[in-house]
Amino acid sequence: MQQRTLGNSGLTVSAIGLGCMGLSSGYGPATEKQAGIQLIRAAVERGVTFFDTAEVYGPFTNEELVGEALAPFRDQVVIATKFGFDTTPEGSAQRRLNSQPQHIRAVVEASLKRLKTDVIDLLYQHRVDPDVPIEDVAGAVKELIQAGKVRHFGLSEAGVQTIRRAHAVQPVTALQSEYSLWWRERENDVLPVLDELGMGFVPFSPLGRGFLTGAIDETTTFDSADFRNTVPRFSPEARKANQAFVERLGELAERKQVTKAQIAIAWLLAQHPWIVPIPGTTKLHRLEENLGAANVELTAEDLREIDIALSSIALQGARYPEQLQQMVGR
Query: Cα-flanking dihedrals φ and ψ of residue 153, to 5°?
Result: -110, 135
Confirm if 287 and 46 have CB atoms less than 8 A apart. yes
Task: Note if 57 is an active site residue.
Answer: yes
Confirm if 178 and 203 have CB atoms less than 8 A apart. yes
Polymer length of the chain: 330
Of the candidates 163, 281, 136, the residue with the CA atom closest to the CA atom of residue 215 = 281
Of the candidates 30, 100, 20, 96, the residue with the CA atom closest to the CA atom of residue 324 = 96
- CA dist., res. 40 & res. 274, Å (int): 23
Catalytic residue among 27, 57, 124, 179: 57
Confirm if 119 and 149 have CB atoms less than 8 A apart. yes
- CA dist., res. 64 & res. 69, Å (int): 9
What beta strand segments (E) does 54-111 contain? Answer: 78-83
Mapping DSSP to helix (H, G, I), strand (E, B) and coil, where does residue 80 land?
Answer: strand
Query: Cα-flanking dihedrals φ and ψ of residue 258, to 5°?
Result: -135, 175
Confirm if 317 and 209 have CB atoms less than 8 A apart. no
Helix (H) or strand (E) holding 12: strand 12-14
Confirm if 175 and 202 have CB atoms less than 8 A apart. yes
- The catalytic residue positions are 57
